[in-house]
Structures are given as C-alpha cells and as structure tokens.
Structure 1
Amino acid sequence: MPFALITLVTVVDINVPPDVHLGPFLVAAPAMAASFTGPRMTAFVGAVAVLAQALVAAARTDLTDLNHTYQIIALTLISAFVTLFAHLRERNEKAVTQLRSVAEAAQRVVLRPLPVRSGPLRIASVYLAAEAEAQIGGDLYAAARTTDGTRLIIGDVRGKGLAAIGEAASVLGAFHALSRQEWRLPDLVAHLEVSVAPDQNCAFHEGEDGNGTDAQEIAESFVTAAVLDIPDGTAELRLVSCGHPPPLLLRAGEAIPLRVRAPAPPLGLAHLLVSDHTAETFAFDVGDTLLLYTDGVIESRDRSGDFYPLPERAASRCGQAPDSLLKSLCADLVRHAGGRLGDDAALVAVERLPAPGGDTRVTTAG
C-alpha cells in the first residue's frame, strides 16, 4: 500500500496543472509503513517517497524550485521521525511480548490445569477472565488426589487485579500443601482459614500505590470457597461451603443445588464470626455430573439486566460430557453477556464414571 500510494501520487502530481501540488500526500506513505513495519522498511519507504518527490520536481520545474525544495526537506524530516517511531514501537512490542509470555507462565503456575481423570472422576474446567490480556484473576480452582479419593476447591477472592491474583495463589498453595497431609475436610478448611486470615498484629502496611492500608481494609479481604471430598469407593461427596454459591448436581434432566444447612463464613472472616466448619454429605452416583462455578457466572447480566439462569441452562444440557458441557455453557454465557463479562468466571464439571477396578491413577491433560 505505501508503494502504491507513492506511485499514484507521483503520476497524478506530474500530470496536474502547475498550480496544483500533491507532493504533501507522499508523507502518508512512510507514516503508514511505520504503523505495521519495522524501522528499516519504514526508512526505505521514506527514501522512496523522497526520491519520488525529487522526480516530480525534476519533471515539473527543477530541483532548485523553492516550493519543491521545502517539500523534499519536510518529507525527509518526517520520514526520519516516523522511522524513529517505528523503532520505538518495535522495541515496545518486543518488551510487551516478553512480559506477556512471563505473565502467562506465571498464571499457569498459579492456576494449574485440573486432571482430566482422577480415579472414577472425569473432570473439565474453564476460566473466563474479565480483564483483557489476562488468563486468571481472583477466581480459583484446584484438585488434589488423596489415598481414597479426590479433593476439589473452587473459590472467589474479593476484589480484582494483582492483589486478587496474589490472594488466590496463597489459597491454592495452602490447599495443595494441606491436601497432601490428608487432613479431614473440616480440619483442612480450618487450616485454609488460617492461611487467609489477616495478621491482626499488623495495623498498617504499605499498599501497592504507596498509600497506607489500615487494619480495617486488611480485614475486608476474604475468599468465598466450596471445598469437596469425593471418595472413590462410595457414591457420595462431602462439602464444606464457605459463603460460596451452591454446586449444581446434574441428574436426570435436573440441576439440583447442593445447599448446606450450616454454611461457614468466607475464608478470612472466621475471626469476625463464630462458626464451625461442618462437612455435609450428598449422594453422587455413577452418571451424575457436579457443576462448580463462581458468582461471575450467575451474576452476569444481559442487556435487559437479567442474570444468567445457570440452573436452567445446565439442566438442559444434562448427559453431556464435562468438556462439552463447559464449552456449551461458556458460549451461552458469553452470548448472554453480550460478548464481554463484567467479572471473572470459573466453572468446573465433574462426572462420576464406573469405578476403574481399583485403578486410582490420575491422568493429566497435555
């Protein structure tokens, strides 16, 4: 396009009446090249444009004509300027590419892929980040293998941005470490609470912006979470809910919310509210699918302000494999939200398959 523009302007400028000058349009060629090519090609386009302006001057008058002399000088200076711009743009793009690759690697470390198989369970997960160029945010999920089953956590950190990612990383790290010790589920959640609870001895600390953050603001940090234990050998699951939306059990065309009778407060708030962590048991038989999600899913609104009806949409997709179920739900959710989510959204689907004859190995995607 830049060379076609130079050719067109040159031919027309030579053939128009003497009082018409189209040479200034040649500056568009190097400016156009600087927007999508490197500095060398931009400089080459600029040199070609200057030569074309000199050709026009020689054809119409001569190179010493004052008007054409100033046009050549101006075109040379502008070409040098946009070449410098192309150099800076290319350097910044390389830096952004490097930062993006580092950020993607860090995000993959924080939010590890869930196993495709864990004993008799088939698992799929998806994360939809609200922020551009982000793969994760304040939502979290993880799975851990125990000697006789699988443990899962899904949660949502209050807030957004880097602070929420850091809090999510803290919870996930504690979950993996504690699951390896195979605590009872209520004890595991109690230890997670300790890992999230603010330091009450710290009355003041420096925030990311250099401003002080007092103890009240620290205390407002919390994480809603649902922690589950799914044994291999029995058709049930145990659930501790810490202020998180109830999982949905998909069975026979229905989406049944698993509501606990005594939910615990969100992680990080137990020091403000007196409550025990109690695990409640629900049936989870072969062929059932468990759907875990964060509030970014159910609080997504369409143009008329209606929330996304997850139970209805999930019930209509009973019988689908976990990966197909999540793919279908995510496409439907994005359509409902008009193409852009207002908050991070995470979903995990778990299907119980027939027991694989004592084989409890975990097969991981990729």
Structure 2
Amino acid sequence: MAAVCAGDLAAGPALGLLPLVSLGPAFAGLVGGWRRTVLVGVVAAVLCAGLGLYSDLIGGRRGLTALLTVAGVTAAGVVAAVMRQRREAELASVRSIAEVAQRVLLRPVPRGAGPLRIAVSYTSAVAEARIGGDLYEVVTSPGGVRMIVGDVQGKGLEAVETAAVVLGAFREAAHDEPDLTAVGVRLERALNRHLAGERFVTAVLAEVGDGPYATLLNFGHPAPLVVRPTGPVTYAAPPDRALPLGLTGHSSDAPLPHTVPFAPGDQLLFYTDGVSEARDAAGRFYPLKSRAGLLKDPDPEAALRAVREDLVEHAEGPLHDDAAMLLVRYREGHGD
C-alpha cells in the first residue's frame, strides 16, 4: 500500500493507481486473521480517501470506484481469512488424531531387547502425514526377539487399515506360535479375511534367540542388509524368492526360513522399498549398500538419522514413497 501511494503521488492521478491500494487487504486475508484483515482494510480505505482528496477524485466516478474496490476486497479478504482459519483448526485436529493413531499402530519399539539394541526410522511420503503403508514391530517372545518390517501395497487409509491388520496379527502370533513359519501362517490367515482382490503385503520376519544367528522368513520383501565389524557388507537374501503375504495362496511354494550368522558387533538393517528405490534427479537408486559406513555411529538412533538425512539428500527433496528402517545391533561383549 505504501508503494502504491508513493507511485500515485509521483505519477499523478492520470495513471490510475488508486484502486491498487486494495492489494493490502487482499494479501492480509491470505496470511493474517480476520481482525488484521479488517484493520488493513480500514487503513487502505483511509489512504484511498486521502489520495482521492489530494487528487480531487473523491467526488467523481474514479474515486468512488476505488473506495468500493477497497471495501469489496476487504470483505472478501475477511471471508477468506475466516475460512482459512477454520481449515487450519480442522487440520490441527486431524494431525492430533493422526498422532494418536501412530502411537496405537506404530508403537515405539524398545531401545533394547535381550542382547539387541534397536532403533527405528519412519518417513511418510504423504505431506503432513505421520503414518502410511509401511509397518514395523518388535516383540519379545518365549522363542526370542521377533521382528517384522513390511510394506502394504498402495497408500492412503486402506493401506493404514491393512497395516493395522498385519501388526495386530503379528503381535498375537509372535507370543503364541513356536516358530516364524507358524507366525507367517497366522498373518496370511488374517490377511485373507481382510484383503479383497489382488492386494498384498511384502514383509520380512526375523527372530533372534540364544544362538549366534538370526532366523529370517521373507515374503517378497527387500533383503535386510548385514553389516559386520569386519568383512564385506552383504544382503541376507532368502534361498528362493517367495510371494508376498496375501498372495501365497496362489502358489504351493511357501517361503522357508533361513538363518544368517549374527554375533556380537553385527548389525541387521531392515528397510522398505521407499529406501532402496529412492531415486535422484538422474534416476539412480539410493546406493544403500555403499552407505553402510553411516551405521558406524555408536548410537543406533544417530546412525539411522544419518542414513535418513543422506537418503533425503540423495532424493533432492521429499520422498515419493514411505520409507521405514529398523536397525538391530547385537551388543558387543554380550555373553563374554
């Protein structure tokens, strides 16, 4: 408004800048509350009237048009401000509900379980969202520490609902069933009651007991990354590729559990394809294996944070898919 006044005084009334004073209440309605918009509108009207008197336009058609423009834009700005504040209040309520849903669906994992140190990272691809289709859980059972990391096909509320079914079934089965194969059967049975059509869930189940190894059961999920204090970084790939949960009924070849050495000092990084398939501007996938050095931080949460920051930097902006990571460390010196 000051720029418009200065331009109008410098150029004279012939240029016709006076109606542009209404830009003040227009922008005020976009960024401020309705009271601020009214105040800016009053100031704009005073400036418009003052300039109209100075230029001897207040009694003519141009002066009246300018005043009516300021009044109309101010009224529209007030309505816009009220509607925007109402939507902001609704969004704040939705965010609060989402945070509660996150605590119920994706509960904080224990930082320590038996010989393990555990950290988790979850980044939703949906703007302002806290939860999505990726899932994880850690349960201490009589058979050892059991974990799941999975990815539901699709996004949105249907994916969240499916993730809730999988997590609920896993939390019960992990306590009740004698081995991972039986846990997988329970998950498949729960999904068959819930899913319709060709929807599916990729998942990897893991169990760490007393022995120096981890047992894995992979349902079409990306293989976990194995990082040892010495030696090469490898993927704990299953001996045979299996179908995801929800589709195993279409094949007679159910996934078989396999073991990987897991001793003090070793790390297992479970992740979803939002991590491994994140692309940079040139279309290159995120080189997770070559970034294993980021996991050397003594604090597992700090190590995952470094990987997440590097992942976002690689993608050069927000991720296009949900990205979950679960880092499991076998404490050095345990059992010595």
2:213 matched to 1:236? yes
Contact 2:142–2:175 (CA under 8 A) maintained in structure 1 = no
Contact 2:143–2:179 (CA under 8 A) maintained in structure 1 = no
340 and 59 in structure 1: CA distance in 2 versus 1, 3 angstrom threshold: closer
Q: Residue 126 of structure 1: CA displacement?
A: 0.8
Give 2:218's aligned amino acid: S
Give 1:41's aligned amino acid: R
| 2:225 equivalent among 239, 248, 258 | 248
Contact 1:225–1:242 (CA under 8 A) maintained in structure 2 = yes
Give 1:267's aligned amino acid: L
Farther-moved stretch of structure 1 (26-35 vs 318-327)? 318-327
CA distance in 2, matches of 1:133, 1:35: 20
Cα displacement string for residues 149-201 of structure 1 (whole angstroms, at most 9, x for unaligned residues): 211001111222222121111101111122232432211111111011257xx
SS in 2 for 1:278: coil
When normalised by structure 1's length, the TM-score is 0.83
Q: Residue 143 of structure 1: CA displacement?
A: 0.5
CA distance in 2, matches of 1:44, 1:317: 54
2:4 matched to 1:27? no
Farther-moved stretch of structure 1 (34-43 vs 181-190)? 181-190
Farther-moved stretch of structure 1 (318-327 vs 343-352)? 318-327
CA distance in 2, matches of 1:265, 1:339: 32
CA distance in 2, matches of 1:70, 1:263: 74
Farther-moved stretch of structure 1 (302-311 vs 41-50)? 302-311
Which consecutive unaligned segments of at least 5 residues does structure 2 have? none
Q: How does 1:141-160 map to 2 (within 5 A)?
A: 141-147=136-142, 149-160=144-155
Identity value in percent: 38
CA distance in 1, matches of 2:132, 2:239: 30
Name the counterpart of 1:305.
Answer: 283
| 2:260 equivalent among 273, 282, 290 | 282
SS in 1 for 2:250: coil
Name the counterpart of 1:114.
Answer: 109
SS in 1 for 2:31: coil
Name the counterpart of 2:79.
Answer: 84
CA distance in 2, matches of 1:223, 1:344: 14
CA distance in 1, matches of 2:88, 2:321: 28
CA distance in 2, matches of 1:18, 1:239: 80
CA distance in 1, matches of 2:102, 2:8: 56
Name the counterpart of 2:237.
Answer: 259
SS in 2 for 1:94: helix
SS in 2 for 1:19: helix
Contact 2:143–2:178 (CA under 8 A) maintained in structure 1 = no
2:110 matched to 1:133? no
Give 1:158's aligned amino acid: Q
Farther-moved stretch of structure 1 (245-254 vs 334-343)? 334-343
2:315 matched to 1:342? no
77 and 123 in structure 1: CA distance in 2 versus 1, 3 angstrom threshold: same
Q: Residue 330 of structure 1: CA displacement?
A: 1.7
Cα displacement string for residues 317-352 of structure 1 (whole angstroms, at most 9, x for unaligned residues): 453332232122222222222223332221111001
Higher RCO (CA-CA < 8 Å; seq separation 6+): 1
355 and 118 in structure 1: CA distance in 2 versus 1, 3 angstrom threshold: farther
Which consecutive unaligned segments of at least 5 residues does structure 1 have? 200-216, 358-366
Give the alignment's Cα RMSD to 1 decimal: 2.3
Name the counterpart of 2:179.
Answer: 184
Give 2:243's aligned amino acid: P
Q: Residue 107 of structure 1: CA displacement?
A: 2.7
SS in 2 for 1:308: coil
Q: Which has the higher helix share?
A: 2
Q: Residue 74 of structure 1: CA displacement?
A: 2.5
Name the counterpart of 1:353.
Answer: 331
Contact 1:144–1:151 (CA under 8 A) maintained in structure 2 = yes
When normalised by structure 2's length, the TM-score is 0.90
